[in-house]
Amino acid sequence: MLDWTDRHFRYFVRQITRRTLLYTEMVTTGALLHGDRARFLDFDPAEHPLALQLGGSEPAELAACCRLGEQWGYDEIDLNVGCPSDRVQSGRFGACLMLEPEVVADCIRAMRDATGLPVSVKHRTGVDHRDSYGALRDFVGTLAGAGCTIFIVHARKAWLQGLSPKENREVPPLQYQTVHRLKRDFPELEIVINGGITSLDQSLEQLQRVDGVMIGRQAYHQPWVLAQADRRIFGEPGTAPTRHQVIDRLLPYIDRERARGTPLQRITRHLLGLFHGCPNARAWRRLLSQEAHRRDAGSSLVARAAALVPESQ
């Protein structure tokens, strides 16, 4: 979710669901240790609960980043061992690390020694031709032996060569039964399933077999899929806000960010899918897309665009 789940998107989604655990974009250890830390780590307190997702393969560097994440106030640290992009592979992290379980185990030990926060691992069901259930079971067992108790499993294997990152999300077949089998074999671990899940109905069905569900791109393109999550998943009383109430909550945030010099388009690019399926949703998207880049554009533009959609939505 690089360049997608930034702090503006997370603040927006937090106006839809209070309880769902949110994740940052994957941040490399090099970016945190040698770059602008505040740029990658800053977040609004309203974003809690929030996990920092790291990419790296050097235990000492990951440990240092865990300490930074804890200092910044994150709730969980996640190690990405599932991204198959060429750029990630060239840095020796992401899905290629599934071929080196002992390296990942060393990373987990160092991370757990560095922080008291929960440490999770996001991974695939396999890589290239190393995709047997036995190899996956051994990978999870090795990491569990290093102290990892939370596994977020994208229910597809990854091809490191020959498929683009987009194709790696679509071409390898989903293997939900493999993730369910992992939970049966490791009942003491927290197993979270990811991949191809687009609704709360599907999520509730999966929660009969696993401990959690991660929804990625669907939640980005159609964020209203999360509107009933607090009630249906977490048992919270009350009703969800309307889409227009979400916009009303977001306007003061937009004013604050514009006062800090944040271009409006950095925020509104995340909002385009809010009214998906509603009357005049196209007019909402068009107005934001055409005018948010203007230097004088602010919260009034967002309110004007929302007014194009009937209030019942």
14: amino acid identity, one letter = R
Q: Across the strands, what pairs with 79?
A: 54, 121
* CA 55 – CA 31 distance, rounded (Å): 10
Task: From residue 205, give the alpha-carbon distance in Å to each of 201, 229, 233.
Answer: 6, 14, 11
Total Cβ atoms within 10 A of residue 300: 12
Contact of 238 with 231, CB cutoff 8 Å = yes
107 assigned to active site: no
Choose the catalytic residue: 66, 83, 96, 107: 83
Phi/psi for 202 (5° steps) reads: -65, -40
* CA 70 – CA 75 distance, rounded (Å): 8
* CA 176 – CA 300 distance, rounded (Å): 45
Q: Across the strands, what pairs with 22?
A: 50
* Active site (catalytic) residues: 83
